[in-house]
Chain A
Amino acid sequence: AQSVTQPDIHITVSEGASLELRCNYSYGATPYLFWYVQSPGQGLQLLLKYFSGDTLVQGIKGFEAEFKRSQSSFNLRKPSVHWSDAAEYFCAVGAANFGNEKLTFGTGTRLTIIP
């Protein structure tokens, strides 16, 4: 069974500072990995995804993530955060085999931006 761990429940960052959100996954084969963002009262929006190829993935809103197989990690980064980045961030893992469309989500990391 696949699983995702987001060890940081809440992170506070100053506006303009860099950001890294941690994600560790457990899956028996090559995973499909996703980062979603949820603003208050909204649904989830995809930031980026990794299926194969280049392990550094670029997403929307200036985010990027790096897949490290040896560490079973898929950490999300942004060089300079903006106040509008305050939200909850979810890492998710999916199966590569056709016929299995389930995504397993982490418990999320809430990001607070301070001036």
Chain B
Amino acid sequence: DAGVIQSPRHEVTEMGQEVTLRCKPISGHDYLFWYRQTMMRGLELLIYFNNNVPIDDSGMPEDRFSAKMPNASFSTLKIQPSEPRDSAVYFCASSSGHQETQYFGPGTRLLVL
């Protein structure tokens, strides 16, 4: 079992650039979650999907953020344009059912200069 896979692991970009974070959930899992972790705000849920459909995006900070899940094995989180305050670690997690264990990926550490 490869676990949740995220890419890239590290991303450094300049303010105003587009950033795309990628996630491959565990095969067979039908829930996918995107989280952001910062020192100031801790771990926040941004959005989650069930069967590729966005269920709750109330945590998405603003219109600059968008997430898609075109199929059961792939999801993206896009920031356009990026800002320095978007610097954080972004985690993807997946699970197999209602309140089942969420398995976290290793995270993408994003630095926006």
Contact = CB atoms under 8 A, between A and B. Distances in A.
A112 interface: no
Contact of B99 (A32, A43, A44, A106): A32
Nearest to A104: B45
Given A105-B42, A105-B43, A98 B98 contact: yes
Q: At the interface, is chain B mostly helix, strand, loop or mixed?
A: strand
Given A44-B91, A106-B42, A101 B55 contact: yes
A101 B53 CA distance: 13
Q: What interface size band does chain B fall in? A: 20 to 34
B31 A101 contact: yes
Contacts of A102: 45, 48, 56
B105 A94 contact: no
A45 B104 CA distance: 7
Contacts of B98: 98, 101
B107 interface: yes
B102 A46 contact: yes
Interface residues of A, number: 23
Nearest to A100: B56
A107 interface: yes
Contacts of A46: 101-103
Interface of A: 32, 36, 41-46, 49, 51, 90, 94-96, 98, 101-108
30 contacts: A41-B106, A42-B107, A43-B4, A43-B93, A43-B106, A43-B107, A44-B43, A44-B102, A45-B104, A51-B99, A90-B43, A94-B99, A96-B99, A101-B31, A101-B33, A101-B48, A101-B50, A101-B56, A101-B95, A101-B98, A102-B45, A102-B48, A102-B56, A103-B33, A103-B45, A103-B102, A104-B45, A106-B42, A108-B42, A108-B43
